[in-house]
A and B are shown apart, each in its own frame.
Chain A
Amino acid sequence: MERTDQEIVDRIKRGDDKAVMTLYDSYRKEFLHWGYNNYSLTEQEGADVFQDAVIIIYKNIRQGKLEQLSSSLKTYLFGIGKNLALKRVSQSSRMVVSNEAVESNPGFDDEDPFEATERQKVIAGMLDSMGDPCKSILRMFYFDKFTMDAIASRLGYKNEHVAKSQKLRCFNQLKKMISDRFNSEDI
């Protein structure tokens, strides 16, 4: 891994919010050229695929899955990007994709972050309409995978125990919203 790569990974691990944008800015141009040359992706399509690849990388770093891997960030980004681009061009039937063409990275979670059931989508939407601190606390815990300690210091709670009970209250509040919604709609 190059030094700058390691720096980006370390910053993301520390919870530096700007590090993801540094990652985006570092490889965007190269990725868009590559997407255009290999898969005829327009600038907009290339950017869209690249954004999803960055989200997948971010999730893996936050889940601690990138520590054991030794390739450069670029290798991972382009590997994920290749799978996403192949999926996209095969959907728009621009290219016939054989199964072998889709690579998988062992130990690495490269599932599409936007693939979800209807119920999961409705829940995600409900969280949008939830105010803070619940929205932030739940997102920081379940998506960003911050420790309770880190959440407490970010949101100004006295200690991790206070943050943890707040998280539980928020989780139950969301659960109640879901129960009310789905019971009233008879699903």
Chain B
Amino acid sequence: MEDKGYTDIINRYLEGEMSSAEKESFLEQVKSNAALKDELELAQDIQKGIELHGSRRLKYLLQAEEKKYQNKPAKSWGWKVAASFFILVGLGYVIFNFANRGSSDIYSQYYLPYPNIVSPVNRSDEGVRSDALADYEQENYQKAIEKLAKQLQSDPQNDVLNFYIGQSLLATGDADQAIPYFKNIGPASRFYDPAAWYYGLSLLKTRQMDEAKAQFEQIAGSGSSYADEAAEIAGKL
């Protein structure tokens, strides 16, 4: 996949900047030049991949919007439920409940399991790992945890293993146990930014509010792609 200086001409073609004569001669070249054809296909896949990323991101935002409806109690019941609470239990208990609900509301509004971005290609030496990630992808979190934990014994610093066991634990609601795995991922890893984000969410879930706030403030001030959302959460805490 060597770049032979085709980038410019391919971009001009893909971005519709060619005249029809130029386009015709370019397509003739593609037919006879296998390297150019490969490069063009790669550039088209990159564009499609970026579009897919954009669609996934928008889907994520829409799912977050949808959660607002799922969490909202029916209007007509709202007051009655609240009133019964006041009658049945003491005011202190209610306040305690509301305080707790605050953090779990924020958590459920922002939490979504991270997709499996490790190539699903089967290689014999990584068979077990991709097997565990396939379980993760199919939401068989318990199985994934067992398999990943076994592999971590021989490779405790592996960022993929640490990240996805943390993810699986968080997905099963075990935020407490997920925390050390997320903390294990260093800045050199491509999972560093997401791990920092999910570490913050785990702190939120386990109601370590001060630590969560500090963590989200740190993310908000970094160049992380989670910075905007982290700033939103930090503002709510």
Chain A: residues with CB nearer than 8 A to chain B? Answer: 20-21, 24-25, 28, 47, 51-52, 54-55, 58-59, 113-114, 116-129, 131-132, 135-136, 138-139, 142-144, 168, 171-172, 174-175, 178-179, 181-183, 185, 187
Contacts and interface: CB of A to CB of B under 8 A. Distances in A.
A51 B66 contact: yes
A28 B43 CA distance: 36
B101 interface: no
Contact of A118 (B65, B117, B120, B191): B120
B42 A125 contact: no
A52 B63 CA distance: 10
B59 A124 contact: no
Nearest to B62: A51
Given A143-B55, A175-B42, A20 B62 contact: yes
A187 B121 contact: yes
Given A47-B66, A55-B59, A183-B1, A123 B224 contact: no
Nearest to A186: B123
Contact of A113 (B52, B117, B123): B52
Interface of B: 1, 3, 7, 11, 42-43, 45-59, 61-63, 65-66, 69, 115-121, 123, 190-191, 193-194, 223-225, 227
A58 B65 contact: no
A143 B62 contact: no
A55 B50 contact: no
Contacts of A135: 225
Contact of A124 (B56, B65, B227): B56
Interface centre among A21, A25, A143 (most CB of B within 10 A): A143
Contacts of B118: 125
Contact of A58 (B48, B58, B69): B58
Contacts of B46: 123, 171, 174-175, 178
Contacts of B120: 118
A55 B223 contact: no
B49 A143 contact: no
B65 A139 contact: no
Contacts of A144: 54
Given A59-B51, A124-B56, A178-B46, 13 more contacts: A21-B65, A24-B65, A28-B69, A113-B55, A116-B52, A117-B45, A117-B48, A121-B49, A124-B53, A128-B115, A132-B224, A142-B51, A171-B46
Contact of A120 (B52, B119, B224): B52
A142 B142 CA distance: 38
Contact of B45 (A59, A120, A125, A143): A120
B1 A143 contact: no
Contacts of A187: 121
Contact of A119 (B45, B190, B224): B45
B117 A128 contact: yes
Given A116-B52, A125-B115, A172 B7 contact: yes
Nearest to A139: B54
A122 B53 contact: no
A127 B117 CA distance: 10
A24 B62 contact: yes
A180 B46 CA distance: 14
Most buried by A among B54, B115, B194, B224: B54
Contacts of A128: 53, 115, 117, 194
B45 A20 contact: no
A121 B52 contact: yes
Contacts of A138: 50
Contacts of B47: 142
Contact of B62 (A54, A120, A181, A185): A54
B52 A114 contact: yes
A178 B38 CA distance: 13
A185 B123 contact: yes
